[in-house]
A and B are shown apart, each in its own frame.
Chain A
Amino acid sequence: MVRSAFILVVVLATYWLMLSGYLYKPVLLIVGTISILVVLGLSWRMKILDAETAPYFHGKAAGYYAWLFVEITKANMSVIKAVLSPDMEISPTTTKVPIKQSTDLGRVTFANSITLTPGTIAVVMGESNILVHALFSEMTDAADFKDMGDRAGWAVSDPMLGRIEKGAS
């Protein structure tokens, strides 16, 4: 919890400086410090100082999103090809993708990544799987989803339910 509080302070200070830009005005810096402390106190009272305080504020998430951006660009090409070709050959499909993340944050990251990748949209989040609508049937390869899920879980340090594979696969 101390670690989350520290991260929260760093994030808020960065945010304040980024948006105000006043580095050399003591009055404004003091006011900023006070508001950061007030926010810290409020979130401590609300007991929301946990792993979800600043979810993407570490190197792993940055690396994951860099990887995801490359994937997005690649997948975009096939969608754009379908859009611009005269006889647009698509094969819309729906599949169920098993979720192995155990925390809310891991699940959200995984589903958001599926939606961010062009050609696949997470339609409904179930308890143990996501209903995914894909633009091409080639895009519903289970191995690809598993890879993305593993990376998403890694990015937010999710204790994956790797061993408990009953309903999955």
Chain B
Amino acid sequence: MDGGVLHMLQFVISALLLAGGVFFVIAGTVGVLRFPDFYTRMHAAGMTDTLGAELVLLGLIVQAGFSQTSLKLALIAFLLFLTSPTAAHAVVGAAHNAGLKPMLGKYRAPALGEAPEVKSEVKPKPKSKSKPKPRTKKKAT
């Protein structure tokens, strides 16, 4: 009967870890959809997902028990721990090199029905005429 209890415990811990991992991955996806600009989205895409993936792997390790499979999973988790920030840094660095300016200052999500304030992130030079600028009025006086 003792083995049965341990088996149950193993199952519960693994299920909890998997559920936690899935929660983080979903939260990361929601973050990618909701955050306002590229850099803030990168936070959700890169980091929250990393923790989610690590937790899923940890859950699988618990499920595999003490075996070769769990060692391999641990190796994957370790490599993910090193490569994931490197990839995020590469993507963000590329955006910075390309001249994408990060949105700074305080930001609040627009309420339901309210139009989101659109800020131009990349400033394409030839297309600047098409954008009406109400702010310039003030300067003219």
A: residues with CB less than 8 A from B are 18-19, 21, 65, 69, 72-73, 76, 79-80, 82-84, 86-94, 111-113, 115-119, 121-124, 131, 133, 135
Contacts and interface: CB of A to CB of B under 8 A. Distances in A.
Contact of B51 (A76, A82, A87): A76
Contacts of A90: 35, 40, 106-107
A45 B109 CA distance: 58
Nearest 5 CB-CB pairs, A to B?
A: A118-B47, A115-B85, A83-B31, A88-B109, A116-B85
A116 B72 CA distance: 22
Contacts of B85: 112-113, 115-116
Interface of B: 24, 27-28, 30-31, 34-35, 37, 39-40, 42-44, 46-48, 50-51, 54, 68, 71-72, 75, 81-82, 84-86, 88-89, 92-93, 96, 102-109, 111
Q: Decide if the interface of chain B is mainly helix, strand, loop or mixed.
A: helix
Contacts of A123: 39, 89, 92-93, 96
B89 A91 contact: no
Contacts of B102: 92, 94, 133
Which of A19, A72, A79, A86: most chain B CB closer than 10 A? A79
A50 B47 CA distance: 31
6 contacts: A82-B31, A83-B27, A86-B109, A91-B107, A113-B85, A121-B88
Contacts of A91: 105-107
A116 B107 contact: no
A87 B47 contact: no
Contacts of A88: 34-35, 107-109
Contact of A135 (B40, B72, B86): B40
B46 A79 contact: no
A135 B42 CA distance: 10
Contacts of A93: 104
A121 B51 contact: no
Given A19-B72, A80-B27, A83-B30, A121 B46 contact: yes
A89 B35 CA distance: 10
Contacts of A119: 43, 47
A115 B46 contact: yes
A121 B24 contact: no
B80 to A, nearest CB: 11
B122 to A, nearest CB: 16
Contact of B81 (A76, A111, A116): A116
A34 B118 CA distance: 62
A112 B47 contact: no
Contacts of B28: 83
Contact of B68 (A21, A82, A87): A21
A96 B96 CA distance: 14
